[in-house]
Amino acid sequence: MLTILATAGRGEGRGHLARALALAEAAHEERVPCVIALLRGEPSAAERGRAQAAGATFESPEALRRRFAPLVVDLPDPNEAGPAVLGRATVFDDRQVLASPARFVVQPSLPSWTPAPGAGAGRALIGYAFAPLGQSVLRVIGERRPRPPRRESADPRVLLCYGGSDPHDVTARLGVALAADPRWALDVVVGPDYRGAAEARGLAVVREPPDLAERLAAADVAVLGAGTMKFEAAALGTPAILVAVADDQVPVGPPFAATGAAAWAGDGRDVDPAFVVELLAALALDPPRRAAMASRGREVVPGDGARRIVAATMTGIGTEGAD
């Protein structure tokens, strides 16, 4: 049995739950039953469907006290779980705020992990190779065929998506400018918690589509937040322009872009939309650069992060590439 403590609270995005579901799917592949305990929030219908397909169940956080099973903690502030829980857990520490020892630490959002005073880990799983990807993305990777050559006159396909909630409504702020440019065809996707003004401002949006991985793979360029989806785009070989849509994305976007797997545009909450439009034009209209970025993305994010994290958690042994 694998137990995962995560959150889907309003304003916290859906990335923590998305990673929990990716781990549940990886556990299912290894015939390991899984329980997901949400500290806040509720899963959407689509997220419940993913859990059910993986044989995972949702329970209250009290489940952690009822069973002493291998445990993963994925919260914005992992210290909420308390030292007793963290000491026996595999802990995501994207923001490097962990204040007490953990069994394992996972840092998939930066190329290094610097423990805070008082923190530590039996082993640290560091780097983009440990980004957990869901089965829907892995399936598309496995089935993917080379893209047919595009007609000279065909508009590049651009996907814009800022995750599950986008509380600062970067979708509307940048989407209007991107949609007004005739140099590409724009596909706007929003998550289950989106409450912004994109539709009121004339944008056609698709909410939580079941074929998001296919849409992302088919795009010539994706304009994304610097959260979980940047790893999905990289693994799928889709060049991406990243903007921050939350405070915790500001420090992680530039290092990922520095790998060559994406381009960094800045903080989406205040960046000039015209700057993003021109950055997109430079990439969308440059096929050789897109091809190089796609190739680099597949190298940086190999896609088996969830399997590696589950293996370490279940066996207590670090995996290749861990520090």
CA distance 241 to 261: 9
CA angle, corner 44, sides to 262 and 267, nearest 5?
30
Q: pLDDT tens per residue, the chain (323 residues)?
A: 999 999 998 878 789 999 999 999 999 999 999 999 999 999 999 999 999 999 999 998 886 766 678 999 999 999 999 999 999 999 999 999 999 999 999 999 999 999 988 898 889 999 999 999 999 999 999 886 555 555 554 689 999 999 888 989 999 999 999 999 999 999 999 988 899 999 999 999 999 999 999 999 999 999 999 999 999 999 999 999 999 999 999 999 999 999 999 999 999 999 999 999 999 999 999 999 999 999 999 999 999 999 999 999 998 765 545 55
Domains, the chain: 2-133+303-315 (3.40.50), 135-300 (3.40.50.2000)
Q: Exposure pattern of 220-233 as b/e (b: 16+ CB <10 Å)?
A: bbbbbbbbbbbbbb
Report yes or no: 79 and 61 within 8 Å, Cβ to Cβ. no
CA distance 312 to 290: 35
